[in-house]
Amino acid sequence: MIVVIEPDVLERTLGTAMAGGAEFAEVFAENRRSVSASLDDGRVEQVTSSRDRGAGIRVVAGETTGYAYTSDLSEKGLAEAARTAAAAAKGGGAGGQRVVSLESAYSRPAVIQRDPRDVSTQAKVALLLAADEAARSAGSEIVQVSAGYGDSRRSVLVANTEGVYATDEQVRVLMRLSAVAAGDAGMQTGYQSMGHTRGWEVFDEMDVEQFAREAARQAITKLSARPAPSGTMPVVIQRGTGGVLFHEACGHGLEADLIAKGASVYAGRVGELVASPLVTLVDNGDMPGEWGTLGIDDEGHPTQHNVLIKDGVLTDYMWDVLRARREGRPGSGNGRRQSYRHLPMVRMTNTYVLDGAEDPDDIIAATDHGVYVAHLGGGSVNTASGDFVFGMTEAYLIEGGRITEPLRDGNLIGNGPKVLADIDMLGNDFAMGSPGTCGKDGQGVPVGDGQPTLRVAALTVGGTAA
């Protein structure tokens, strides 16, 4: 499974890439294996496995980047890709061919207790069947259940003309379940998902039946929900579930490529107060076991704990290697790509808000009237303005400092910088949320997010209640 390309072959490949006068060249090789299974209404719909293997060659000459990829990892195949990438970048640089010498290797092999490859397909299907049965046992209202399982093992090797020579393995497991409940008011759906950069031991530790019953509970509860209110009001967001808001509403705006394009509301604001002093925002690709965790980024640099906002003050952006070089600063381990077929770009890993000091029950008690969001759905954001819309997939009314009636699906509408500034209570119960796939410029990569329970003093709720 490990990608094996001898260092002398890599050095010759990089030398070929540099022969036309480029200033930087890189080899990114990848070997990926994945297995998935899906179940719908008690029947196994499909079990699939796939493998993908190849390398991408990037050549930079001045402001021009050439890129070529190949599934042929022989020296001949790599050399052809290197010449193609160099030709695409030709004319933008200066200088001539130089000898490339790779430095000592950096390696972060996957640390897992049970390799999913050693677990039978029957055991993986049995997991889904047990979840299906548990969800249906939650109540006669449950009329449909669908579930999915996936695991993957991704090995990468990165070498470049700055001496980087690094390898990494990432083993991930994923499970999801949706349950549909039917009642007099129609149908409602509950959803749960779980994903970690770990091995099969995750399923030895988690209660899969409780996981399934929670999705069913959400669906059944929503059958009696009332229309969500409309207007601006305090909104309390349950721990873990609101991390996606920070990912979308401000995380993308802190990526250095969007900063360079002037497409971010945070451009040129390092050192300024951009959030409530309660807020410290971190991106951390080295967080053990989380969905967005990886030993090295896809440019060969170790991932790390990056503080983006500290006590409300913007301290830094996220960087890839090329933009960091142009600024004369170290990278932050945020250069990521979907596969060897794609160029790397600045991307988040695990992005989250650190704990505050409040007891979460006190946050609710201090809210006379508002909305409690137990689960946020998908959304969209304009990074240039910070404006966003997110769906509420499970929410409740807060009345007199207590959580009362469930609400039907509605939206949260706001502006990222304003929401950051309007956080007036922050809990001490931090949790990471569900696994996510972040899309950007046609590429998707696994990311994590999280936060403690928090209150936004004023946020627009788009409901249907009169």
Q: What is the pLDDT of residue 95?
A: 45
214 within 8 A of 406, measured Cβ to Cβ: no
Residues 209 and 262 in one domain: no
Residues 290 and 178 in one domain: no
1 located within any domain: no
Query: Any idea what the CATH number is for the domain that residue 148 is in?
Result: 3.30.2290.10
Q: What is the pLDDT of residue 386?
A: 84
Domain end, chosen from 198, 222, 246, is at: 222
Residues 135 and 249 in one domain: no
Residues 196 and 345 in one domain: no
Q: Rounded to two decimals, what is the model's pTM?
A: 0.94
372 within 8 A of 394, measured Cβ to Cβ: no
Residues 204 and 343 in one domain: no
340 within 8 A of 56, measured Cβ to Cβ: yes
71 located within any domain: yes
Please give the tally of structural domains in the chain. 2
**Phi, psi angles (nearest 5°) of residue 221:** -60, -40
Residues 316 and 289 in one domain: yes
Each residue of 129-170: pLDDT tens digit? 999 999 999 999 999 999 999 999 999 999 999 999 999 999
Cα–Cα distance for residue pair 81/68, rounded to 1 Å:
5
Residues 359 and 289 in one domain: yes
257 located within any domain: yes
17 located within any domain: yes
Q: What is the pLDDT of residue 382?
A: 85
Residues 204 and 71 in one domain: yes
172 located within any domain: yes
Q: What is the pLDDT of residue 197?
A: 96
Each residue of 353-399: pLDDT tens digit? 999 999 999 999 999 999 999 999 888 888 888 898 999 999 999 99
378 located within any domain: yes
Spatial CA neighbour of 153 closest among 53, 255, 284: 53
Q: What is the pLDDT of residue 150?
A: 98
**Which residue segment(s) compose the domain that 22 sits in?**
7-222
Residues 34 and 125 in one domain: yes
Residues 329 and 201 in one domain: no
Domain end, chosen from 177, 197, 222, is at: 222
How many helices (H) and strands (E) the chain has is answered by: 10, 23
Cα–Cα distance for residue pair 233/238, rounded to 1 Å:
16
Element (H, E) at 17: helix 7-18
Domain end, chosen from 191, 222, 253, is at: 222
Q: What is the pLDDT of residue 104?
A: 59
380 located within any domain: yes
List the chain residues with pLDDT less than 70: 1, 91-101, 103-107, 109, 465-466
2 located within any domain: no
Q: How many residues does the chain have?
A: 466
Q: What is the pLDDT of residue 270?
A: 97
Residues 266 and 191 in one domain: no
Each residue of 222-240: pLDDT tens digit? 999 999 999 999 999 999 9
Please state whether 400 falls in left (phi above 0), alpha (psi between -120 and 50) or beta: left
Residues 162 and 258 in one domain: no
